[in-house]
Structure 1
Amino acid sequence: MATMRAAVLTAPHRFDLREIAIPQVGPDDALIRVSRTGICGTDIHIFNGHYAADRLPLVPGHEFAGTVAATGAHVKHIEPGTTCVADVNIGCGECYWCRRNEILNCPSMTQVGIGRDGAFAEYVCVPARLVIPAPDNVPAEVLALTEPVSCVVRAARKARATFGQSVVILGAGPIGNLHVQMMRLCGAAPIIVADLSEDRCRLALEAGADAAVADPAQLKAEVLKRTGGRGADLVIESVGSPRLYALAFELIRKGGHVAFFGLTGSKDTVPVDILRTILEEN
């Protein structure tokens, strides 16, 4: 039996480096030799036992790039040796939700590295229909960002981000700064970022933000100053903090919108002023 090395999360806060069997390749599958894997905030939630704890032991890892190592008998559109990334959301392809391209709502949906073993290993197996060929001249560490970038692109589409909108991004970590770049590509302005870290604020400015605020006491005043006193057209929460979600509603203008992006704990809630939300058409 061929084996591979894998980082297996056996319990919250415990990884074991193990030799495990290389995944079996089904007739419609592709086996990918992993070149690079990112560490997502979701992986941190899983590691801490806040998410998917009932699925342990698990090989996490859903932000990855690699090379096709083998394909199943029914696979014709990709060949071994192909540089690739993969969609990690596996729906049934037949239900109401999948037919509407709302795969995350599929009752049987699972995700590579979250609901099934992922890419913190030498190899990962995925349905071949989800494999996306990638350019050979793009570094693997850049290709591994495809998954988080795709989430950011989807968020921009769902939020209907467009030219000339004022945007506040709460959090200037890797995801927050991807949002900055996405909003800049959409033509949004001004883009205001908030983070407690001065270093991350500096990176946000380098990524294209118009302003970055590290002092929470100054944030609302900065937003009002840069939006003519109205508040932001759009606020994106990219951290996963109930406190920041509540703050987001204080930063939007009348008729503005909040994009819920950062994952919270399963029991976390956010209070909403229902009357204000209705009257201000938020």
Structure 2
Amino acid sequence: MMRAAVLTAPGRFEIREVPRPAVGPRDALIRVTRTGICGTDLHMFHGAYAADSLPLIPGHEFCGVIEDLGAEVASLTQGQTVVADINIGCGTCFWCRRNEVLNCPDMAQLGISRDGAFADYVALPARLVIPAPENAAPELLALVEPVACVVRAARKAGAGIGQSAVVLGAGPVGNLHVQMLRLCGVAPIIVADLSQDRCRMALEAGADAAVSDPALLQARVLEMTGGRGADLVIESVGSPRLYTEAFRLIRKGGHVAFFGLTGPEAAVEVNILDTILRENSLKGSVAGMGEDMHEALVLLTHGRFRTDAFTRASYPLDRIQEAFESFAARPRDLKTQIVIGPG
């Protein structure tokens, strides 16, 4: 048996004793040390996402130590410190071969569509487990999955040297987008958020400008891009209004990156003729997978991200309800981590 935080209904966690996951011949059993609270977890907690999956053990931003291995696993050893790709596809279909696992017909996500890592142990296919440097701090390793998400988003958006970008939203993922774009050589980087605190934090993370008044945003973007508009706009909130705004902020030939999750019925009107004549583009991106995870691990363990605001807030597993309920009241804590076991 093991401890687990089960989300039994929106807004309600229960700490339960549940069976330890079974380990198949090609699986790894990981003793969890830390698990971060993701925006997706918060959406689930508030009943806005994956409500049909409940009751469920959420949690997917995790690190841990290998406890046990299936008989056919030869690439890993017990006691290794690891992180893991939480996107579980078949591994052989057209989409899996292209590192587009979320489109696999058999895809499942740890902590979203199957039990996850707000628990003492988690099991998953060993091919998805990634060894980490032994001296890496657990609080850093628990950030690999969210950083992988912005690695993938930057790649899919084609972010590059000297391009201009706007990030709509300066919350946890918006802040990571800013840092990722800076690593890609993007300049200038303009952030928009209603919170002045989070605007200041985005500036500290490397943004060139931050705008908290929506009425001033378009003029500021035009001012900083020679009157053209931005090469790239990333929506990181999940607001249809902001997605619509994104198309007003890009230049002719610019790109809108769809990232922030909305409800299933949300839609944005796009002027077809204008999009054609301006040769604008859009592309969706939601999760890091495959090589994105490996690259995120390298970037974090080599100090390429500022992580203080992501690692200072932590709660033990038995206080997970408090951690979720108090998050909105702690705007300067960009991430909250649940401490589950020793590193």
The bucket for the TM-score relative to the shorter chain is over 0.9
Q: Distance in 2 between matches of 1:268 and 1:84?
A: 37
How many residues were matched structurally?
280
Aligned to 2:19: 21
Contact 1:50 1:266 in 2 (8 A): no
Quote the Cα distance in structure 2 between the aligned partners of 1:131 and 1:34.
13
Aligned residue in 2 for 1:241 = 239
Q: Partners of 1:55 and 1:198 in 2: how far apart?
A: 36
Aligned to 2:31, what secondary structure does the other structure show?
strand
User: After TM superposition, where is structure 1 displaced by more than 2 Å over at least 4 residues in a row?
Assistant: none
- Unmatched 5+ stretches in structure 2: 281-343
Which structure has more relative contact order (CA 8 Å, sep 6+)? It is: 2
Structure 1: gaps (5+ residues)? none
Partner of 1:185: 183
The partner residue of 1:172 within 164, 170, 191 is: 170
1:136 match: 134
For 1:56, the aligned partner's letter is: L
Match of 1:64 in 2: 62
Matches within 5 A, 1:82-101: 82-101=80-99
1:218 pairs with 2:253: no
* Matched residue SS, 2:7: strand
Tell me which residue corresponds to 1:115. 113
* Whole-angstrom CA distance in 1 between matches of 2:41 and 2:74: 33
Question: What do the CA deviations read for 1:185-223 (whole angstroms, capped 9, x no partner)?
Answer: 110000000111111011101100000111111111110
Distance 1:209 1:100 in 2: 32
Q: Which residue pairs with 1:33 in the alignment?
A: 31
Q: State the Cα distance separating 1:100 from its structure 2 match.
A: 2.3
SS in 2 for 1:30: strand
C-alpha separation between the residues in 2 aligned to 1:209 and 1:99? 35
Q: Partner amino acid for 1:259? A: A
Code of the aligned partner of 1:217: A
Aligned letter for 1:164?
G
Length-normalised TM-score, structure 2: 0.80
1:101 CA displacement? 2.2
Assess if the C-alpha contact under 8 Å between 1:27 and 1:75 holds in 2: yes
SS in 1 for 2:203: helix
Work out whether residues 84 and 132 of structure 1, in 8 Å CA contact, stay in contact via their aligned partners in 2.
Answer: yes
For 2:11, the aligned partner's letter is: H
Return the offset for 1:99: 2.3
Distance in 2, Cα, partners of 1:55 & 1:30: 24
Of residues 8-17 and 154-163 in structure 1, the stretch that sits farther from structure 2 once superposed is: 8-17
Q: C-alpha separation between the residues in 2 aligned to 1:47 and 1:235?
A: 28
RMSD: 0.8
Q: TM-score, normalised by structure 1?
A: 0.98
Q: Deviations over 1:163-185 (max 9, x none)?
A: 00000000111111111111001
